[in-house]
Structure 1
Amino acid sequence: MKYMFLLYGNEAAFGSMTEDQRNQAFGAYMAYNSALQAEGVMVSGDPLQPSFTASRVRAPDGKTEILNGPYADTQEQLGGTYVIDVPDLDAALAWAARCPMSAWGTVEVRPLMVLG
């Protein structure tokens, strides 16, 4: 079954890290990616650009509205995603607990809906 991990963290805290701290964080993600790939469960995984680069589109009553930048003022911002393919929720939760973001922020685990 496929699960998506939504990684939420504090962009301001990441921005205030030293270069060594950022390199250590990236190293942790590279090791995590390697573990996912070695087990054959990684479908995809990508970091996102900072939230100020985001655009939100709504079309109430057929009228397009575009909102630029972060819409909500929150302590954590969506920073990336993974999609993994594992046998069950317990396996997905175990992988989420190993994700570096689980130490610094939040990893939301959601099953993907199978259509058709």
Structure 2
Amino acid sequence: MKFVCLGYYDDATMEGKTEAEMAEFMEECFAYDDELRRGGHFVGGEALQRAEAAVTLRMKGGQVDVTDGPFAETKEQIGGLLFLEARDLNHAIALMSKHPGVRFGPFEIRPANDEINALIKARDAAIKNS
């Protein structure tokens, strides 16, 4: 099964950290990602820029409204996505519970929607073949 793991961070947990401490933390995260790769569990991932670089789209009065910043009014913001292959949700939880990133904020683990993703894949193939 495929899972999307949304990694969140809280700026407060990073306050006072030196560049060296942050570099060491990132290396721990990369090293664990390498373990996931070696086990065939790391499908992919993307780190995101800080929430201040985000925009949010909403429909207002039939028009698209663009506002600066993330949608959520929370201290925790999405910092990145990790695509994971696991046997089931419990296996995904076991794998991600060892990720060093959980020290800086929570991970939301959500199963991929295989039915809709199959439709997306079919449309991608149709476009490539046209």
The TM-score with structure 2 as length reference comes to 0.81
Distance apart, 1:15 and its partner CA: 5.3
Aligned pairs (5 A) from 1:6-21: 6-14=6-14, 16-21=16-21
Match of 1:68 in 2: 68
Match of 2:123 in 1: none
**Which runs of 5 or more structure 2 residues have no equivalent in the other structure?**
120-130
Match of 1:104 in 2: 104
Aligned pairs (5 A) from 1:32-47: 32-47=32-47
Give 1 or 2 for the bigger CA radius of gyration: 2
RMSD, matched Cα: 1.6
Describe the shift of the 1:57–1:27 C-alpha distance in structure 2 as closer, same or farther (beyond 3 A). Answer: same
**Which runs of 5 or more structure 1 residues have no equivalent in the other structure?**
none
Distance apart, 1:70 and its partner CA: 3.2
Match of 1:82 in 2: 82
Q: Partners of 1:22 and 1:66 in 2: how far apart?
A: 33
Percent pairwise identity: 30
Q: Partners of 1:44 and 1:103 in 2: how far apart?
A: 21
